[in-house]
Chain A
């Protein structure tokens, strides 16, 4: 047995099927980095080495899905169960989801990028189809009837000709241990046979979440547990110069820990730990600040690395020659925080050389490796469990708090609870990066776009690909949303639909500007340049719902349109705004969003995600930005960092363009991508000024109005 392996018996014991059951392992072409994981050699002994999904049908007939994915509000706890129910012919209620537990679930890269339904969904359905095939074989034997004469419904297999001749899944699995690995793709049900998928289902987790039963990492309570508060520098890059912990040490029952640069106070009550922390006297040396939220854009342009081409056609030279009007613009967006209401939280305990850590993380398996490394433990001695997450949005892809809790548990020998304060959450957030987009575009005398020269710095290439039909275009992406030294003064990372918000804001603003100059209605102008019928249909659907009446812009009505593609899903959004010319304040009155995401597994869940994206997107469009000087962050709570509230709500209408026969695409991100552009375009239509920087604060709008 290789180091790090778990015995097959141990594995089946963990699965709870020593007394009988069916386990189906499955591996398909999932781009989740499985091959890389295999190379690390941390595999289970006696079970197939390369599976990335599995499900169990227990001796009592209950179906359990084991997935390393986590639930952070996006609703996969419901939609994955729906897929299983249909493929396996069991009632929706018979399915139990075990998520984000590294001891029970197969390796998974992480939950992000609207990938669960697109890539994990088909894998899960195939596992279910295989399990159903196994059950059919067992039933054929049990009922002494050939498989082709059998059918399954609600967890019961029966003879089509003689329905009294029947057997339940539970009867079949009892006493049998059947393990299967799917190598060839089993046939999946066509959409027409779905009875659960495609129907609106209430959330599986709703009851627990309205009664307070739902457990988040911070709700874990262990005997003898201590709450930790950690000493933090005032600015990124600041180094500890002097430290006096005597004040904290004098506090009753407070435990002060110092290990290298880690200094923490622990107490059996978090508020007492906080009080003790405030009694620590520490001085830091901060590096001289050179960058701030004003000059960051010049810096990014200066340090931007050579780019990579995202898409191109024709030659820019030819485009230039054809252009009658040329538009040269620069678009900016500031750093944006994830700001989930649950801050990064973890509880860790160490027992007999094994660490168990409950963490609010989008990446339980990544955290497991981090902790193993940090505590110098073999990987199999670390178990990470991601309970319900109180929001993620990409920000919990990085989960430093888990290693902090584990390290403090090791030092103190007691279970340790680490919950970041709101200020720590803002300080250590991996922000959506500040970014710059430069576009030179041109139209000919007939109002056709003939030139598109596009460079994006640090937002990333997602959403930069040109989908309008333009004979001469080139789009180049410089740098990435991932932070690296020398570019940003603090961490950056994926933020709901990484890259695509910035790129959509720039592209759709520029398109609007050209439509205005050409004197063509902006919806028609877009359609004139679309060969892709899918986008055409989505725009049409939004226009129908909105009641779009074509007009040259600016029309004074305050209407805007924008569209884009994210995670395979096509989105078109229209908005109506009102701008107060004296203050620059914007009220978004109405938003209509249409999307084509292929098959929607749970239409109610889809609508909820669409509304969520639209509402959350109001923030980065209108108010959200991190202000800073060097490594010092100024916005550390919701008083100055304003996120959307009830009073901001427009009337929201959503349209799911019917496409049941196409495979499901991403659902957790797409509608957020248009929010910057659609509001910018609506503001232009309202008052005739264009905003080139996100967020479009009242102050910036007022300044733009006074320049006009």
Chain B
């Protein structure tokens, strides 16, 4: 059923009329042209579609768009502020923490959410926190290093 849904997307107010049952991933990618969140499995098994809803990582392929009504959605496109990359983005570049790059938006946003809950995670906490995000190229080692570097960078209250 069509309904009116308001939310903030990458710092911009959005006001759309859609079937609220539709998944956030498709509304973002097709209705709104925000293609950073990727389709990987369609069943919430790979994490490629991860976005932030009120700063928490959610699987957008499993999230009806109705659920973000009144909330703030951030995709990979909205992470940098005024052209300044987020420490996680910088750390992913620094550590070469990507290959094909298809899982990267999901990885970074999942890591963002992880660091909010646990600003100085141990290696084990990173592994546990990231375990549901799949990478086929095998960049895992670098991703862990990048998250550790970003955590160090953000120490001292860098705004998340």
Complex CA gap A208/B126 in Å reads 24
The answer to whether the Cβ of B66 comes within 8 Å of any Cβ in the partner chain is no
Q: Are B128 and A643 in contact (CB under 8 A)?
A: no
- Chain B residues positioned under 8 Å from A390 (CB to CB): 38, 100-103
Q: Are A608 and B39 in contact (CB under 8 A)?
A: no
Q: Which of A205, A268, A614, A615 has the most CB of B within 10 A?
A: A615
Smallest CB gap from A422: residue in B = B41
Q: Are B136 and A649 in contact (CB under 8 A)?
A: no
Q: How large is the interface on A (under 10, 10 to 19, 20 to 34, 35 or more residues)?
A: 35 or more
The answer to whether the Cβ of B5 comes within 8 Å of any Cβ in the partner chain is no
Could you say which of A73, A227, A646 contacts B137, with CB atoms under 8 Å apart? A73
Given A390-B101, A644-B140, are A638 and B41 neighbors across the interface (CB < 8 Å)?
yes
The answer to whether the Cβ of A214 comes within 8 Å of any Cβ in the partner chain is yes
Complex CA gap A377/B66 in Å reads 45
Q: Are A269 and B31 in contact (CB under 8 A)?
A: yes
Given A202-B93, A646-B130, A646-B131, are A214 and B136 neighbors across the interface (CB < 8 Å)?
no
Separation in Å of the B60 CB from the closest CB of chain A?
12
The answer to whether the Cβ of A31 comes within 8 Å of any Cβ in the partner chain is no
The answer to whether the Cβ of B134 comes within 8 Å of any Cβ in the partner chain is yes
Given A209-B101, A212-B35, A270-B26, are A612 and B139 neighbors across the interface (CB < 8 Å)?
yes
A-contact 0/1 string along B88-132, CB 8 Å cutoff: 010011101011111111001000000000000000001110111
Could you say which of A207, A213, A218, A647 contacts B39, with CB atoms under 8 Å apart? A218
Smallest CB gap from B133: residue in A = A646
Count residues on chain B whose CB falls below 8 Å from chain A CBs: 56
The answer to whether the Cβ of B154 comes within 8 Å of any Cβ in the partner chain is no
Given A212-B77, A270-B26, A646-B130, are A75 and B99 neighbors across the interface (CB < 8 Å)?
yes
Given A73-B101, A341-B102, A388-B101, are A643 and B96 neighbors across the interface (CB < 8 Å)?
no
B-contact 0/1 string along A368-398, CB 8 Å cutoff: 0000000000000000000011111100000
Q: Are B41 and A637 in contact (CB under 8 A)?
A: yes
Q: Are B136 and A211 in contact (CB under 8 A)?
A: no
Q: Are A612 and B99 in contact (CB under 8 A)?
A: yes
Q: Are A72 and B96 in contact (CB under 8 A)?
A: no
In chain A, residues 197-256, which have Cβ atoms closer than 8 Å to a Cβ of chain B?
Answer: 202-203, 205-216, 218-219, 221, 227
Complex CA gap A637/B41 in Å reads 7
Smallest CB gap from A420: residue in B = B39
The answer to whether the Cβ of B8 comes within 8 Å of any Cβ in the partner chain is no
Separation in Å of the B13 CB from the closest CB of chain A?
20
The answer to whether the Cβ of A352 comes within 8 Å of any Cβ in the partner chain is no
Complex CA gap A270/B29 in Å reads 10
Complex CA gap A172/B104 in Å reads 42
Q: Which of B29, B135, B137 has the most CB of A within 10 A?
A: B137
Separation in Å of the A277 CB from the closest CB of chain B?
13
Complex CA gap A203/B31 in Å reads 32
- Chain B residues positioned under 8 Å from A303 (CB to CB): none
Q: Are B36 and A212 in contact (CB under 8 A)?
A: yes
The answer to whether the Cβ of B138 comes within 8 Å of any Cβ in the partner chain is yes
The answer to whether the Cβ of A477 comes within 8 Å of any Cβ in the partner chain is no
In chain A, residues 328-346, which have Cβ atoms closer than 8 Å to a Cβ of chain B?
Answer: 339-343
Given A210-B89, A342-B38, A646-B131, are A616 and B98 neighbors across the interface (CB < 8 Å)?
no
The answer to whether the Cβ of A179 comes within 8 Å of any Cβ in the partner chain is no
A-contact 0/1 string along B30-54, CB 8 Å cutoff: 1101011011111101101000000
Could you say which of A211, A341, A389, A649 contacts B134, with CB atoms under 8 Å apart? A341
- Chain A residues positioned under 8 Å from B134 (CB to CB): 341, 638, 643, 645
Could you say which of B80, B98, B127, B144 contacts A209, with CB atoms under 8 Å apart? B98
The answer to whether the Cβ of B6 comes within 8 Å of any Cβ in the partner chain is no
Q: Are A340 and B136 in contact (CB under 8 A)?
A: yes
B-contact 0/1 string along A390-424, CB 8 Å cutoff: 11110000000000000000000000000101100
Complex CA gap A268/B36 in Å reads 19
- Chain A residues positioned under 8 Å from B85 (CB to CB): 207, 210-211
Smallest CB gap from A78: residue in B = B96
Q: Are B138 and A616 in contact (CB under 8 A)?
A: yes
The answer to whether the Cβ of B76 comes within 8 Å of any Cβ in the partner chain is yes
- Chain A residues positioned under 8 Å from B77 (CB to CB): 211-213
Q: Are B137 and A422 in contact (CB under 8 A)?
A: no
Q: Are B138 and A214 in contact (CB under 8 A)?
A: no
Separation in Å of the B43 CB from the closest CB of chain A?
6
- Chain A residues positioned under 8 Å from B36 (CB to CB): 212
- Chain A residues positioned under 8 Å from B102 (CB to CB): 216, 340-342, 390-391
Q: Are A612 and B43 in contact (CB under 8 A)?
A: no
Could you say which of B48, B96, B132 contacts A202, with CB atoms under 8 Å apart? B96
Smallest CB gap from A641: residue in B = B45
Q: Are B96 and A604 in contact (CB under 8 A)?
A: yes
Complex CA gap A340/B41 in Å reads 10
Separation in Å of the A348 CB from the closest CB of chain B?
17
Q: Are A652 and B96 in contact (CB under 8 A)?
A: no
Separation in Å of the A645 CB from the closest CB of chain B?
5
The answer to whether the Cβ of B23 comes within 8 Å of any Cβ in the partner chain is yes
Could you say which of B45, B93, B127 contacts A207, with CB atoms under 8 Å apart? B93
Could you say which of B41, B98, B128, B140 contacts A206, with CB atoms under 8 Å apart? B98
Separation in Å of the A49 CB from the closest CB of chain B?
35
Given A391-B100, A604-B96, are A611 and B141 neighbors across the interface (CB < 8 Å)?
yes
Smallest CB gap from B130: residue in A = A646
Separation in Å of the A253 CB from the closest CB of chain B?
12
- Chain A residues positioned under 8 Å from B89 (CB to CB): 210-211
Q: Are B96 and A608 in contact (CB under 8 A)?
A: yes
Q: Are B138 and A644 in contact (CB under 8 A)?
A: yes
Smallest CB gap from B91: residue in A = A210
Complex CA gap A55/B100 in Å reads 25
In chain A, residues 70-93, which have Cβ atoms closer than 8 Å to a Cβ of chain B?
Answer: 72-75
Q: Are B136 and A221 in contact (CB under 8 A)?
A: no
- Chain A residues positioned under 8 Å from B92 (CB to CB): 206, 210
Could you say which of B80, B137, B140, B143 contacts A391, with CB atoms under 8 Å apart? B137
Complex CA gap A649/B139 in Å reads 11
Q: Are A340 and B96 in contact (CB under 8 A)?
A: no
Complex CA gap A584/B130 in Å reads 25
Smallest CB gap from B31: residue in A = A269
The answer to whether the Cβ of A259 comes within 8 Å of any Cβ in the partner chain is no
Complex CA gap A341/B105 in Å reads 12
Smallest CB gap from B128: residue in A = A647
Smallest CB gap from A640: residue in B = B45
Q: Are B93 and A210 in contact (CB under 8 A)?
A: yes
The answer to whether the Cβ of A266 comes within 8 Å of any Cβ in the partner chain is no
- Chain A residues positioned under 8 Å from B104 (CB to CB): 209-210
The answer to whether the Cβ of B75 comes within 8 Å of any Cβ in the partner chain is yes
Other 16 A-B pairs with CB < 8 A, given A73-B98, A422-B43, A615-B140:
A202-B96, A210-B76, A218-B38, A271-B23, A272-B22, A342-B38, A343-B40, A390-B103, A391-B100, A611-B141, A637-B41, A637-B43, A638-B134, A644-B138, A646-B131, A646-B133
A-B contact pairs, 13 of them (CB 8 A): A205-B101, A208-B101, A270-B30, A341-B134, A342-B40, A343-B40, A391-B102, A605-B96, A611-B138, A613-B138, A616-B137, A638-B41, A649-B127
B-side residues, CB < 8 A to A, are: 22-23, 26, 29-31, 33, 35-36, 38-43, 45-46, 48, 75-77, 79-80, 85, 89, 92-94, 96, 98-105, 108, 126-128, 130-144
Name the 7 nearest CB pairs between A and B, nearest first. Answer: A390-B102, A212-B36, A73-B100, A615-B138, A209-B101, A73-B99, A612-B138
